[in-house]
Chain A
Amino acid sequence: MARAYQPMTKRNKPDSLRDLDDRLRRLREREGSGGAKPGRGRGSSAGFGMAMRIGVELVAALLVGVGIGWGLDKLLGTSPWLLLVFFVLGAAAGMMNIYRVMMGMSQAVGYSKDKDRSRGDDEPPSDTSR
């Protein structure tokens, strides 16, 4: 009867199953606590997806630059100077967006690679079993 206090998992499991349990738990802990892990699940379809991004990034930044410049010109009556300035800024922003995509950098400012961003999980995950 003293054995009844032992948890079910400890009692009647063959060694191989207990070993599997251990390995599974370790794997889950590793997967759960690790930060961003790029490189997985990025096959050829992801490459195709990235190719489609590039043209749009350039145009979108240019549009935003021209939009801001045109709007500010309307507001301040400085036409066409701000439009010209923001056109160049928008083109630069578009180039920078493309540069970031091509170099595999993160979307954030700065020049750190995506891969260096595994740091910074300030709070431990509450549920490691997913």
Chain B
Amino acid sequence: MAEANHSPLAQFEINRLVPIELGGVDVSFTNSALLMVASLAGITLFMMLGMRRRALVPGRWQCLAEVTYEFIANLLRDTVGSDGRRYFPFIFALFMFILFGNLLGMLPYSFTFTSHIVVTFVIAMMVFVGVTVVGFIKHGMHFFSFFVPPGLPIVLWPLMIPIEIVSYLSRPISLAIRLFANMTAGHTMLKVFAGFIPALGAAGILPLAFVTALTGLEILIAFLQAYVFTVLTCLYLSDALRLH
């Protein structure tokens, strides 16, 4: 290991694996892209091989695949209701992609693509624009009544409508920042405490124990953040479908 690689932030560096340039735009295949492809492949293998036998009494693997399906299906039914079922493929893909991205990032020497705000922001914008479009398709221009709290006196409209619009526009930002900040902070913290282990010699057993516990916490957070992202997407979708 080179000395430069010991920086806690070195793990977030983007490396070009296959340099490609199209019309002056750098579209190189990077380590981030590699991990995205790996997570797609991982999801596909997990679901396809899990359901390959289609046994009436599921084995362990099929059970896992069915549990993830049921988890998202129940989540969607609890938050959006039964008319949210048609959005299941998108929600499921979203959850699995973020979850696999987070979990693959926990492998040593790996890369966490969800720790880059570009990635999380694009996913959040996708959700935001998609949900807004669904709201407009469902309600037309009536969608703008979304920004007026019911029962509000007209005097307060000039104050409340800008607040509601800012609050609405803050959704993709908060979605993106939450995932990005949790991933970046967690991985940086792991690296910093791991750096104490060789520096402290025999007393390094203490940070080692801490890092071990922290790794467990990070795996919990990997699940939790994927879950939170999905729950919020469902809530926003439910809002767009029902307005008030």
Contacts and interface: CB of A to CB of B under 8 A. Distances in A.
Interface of A: 31-38, 40-41, 45-46, 48-49, 52-53, 56-57, 59-61, 63-65, 68, 86, 89-90, 92-94, 96-97, 106-112, 117-118, 120-123, 125, 127, 130
30 contacts: A36-B77, A36-B80, A36-B81, A38-B78, A41-B75, A49-B231, A53-B174, A56-B177, A57-B174, A59-B177, A60-B170, A60-B177, A61-B174, A64-B170, A86-B162, A89-B166, A93-B164, A94-B167, A96-B167, A97-B170, A106-B235, A107-B236, A108-B239, A109-B244, A110-B149, A110-B244, A120-B242, A122-B83, A125-B83, A127-B85
B41 interface: no
Nearest to B150: A110
Contacts, number: 129
Given A86-B166, A112-B244, A34 B82 contact: yes
A121 B178 contact: no
Given A36-B79, A53-B178, A109-B148, A94 B74 contact: no
B163 A57 contact: no
B83 A93 contact: no
A55 B127 CA distance: 21
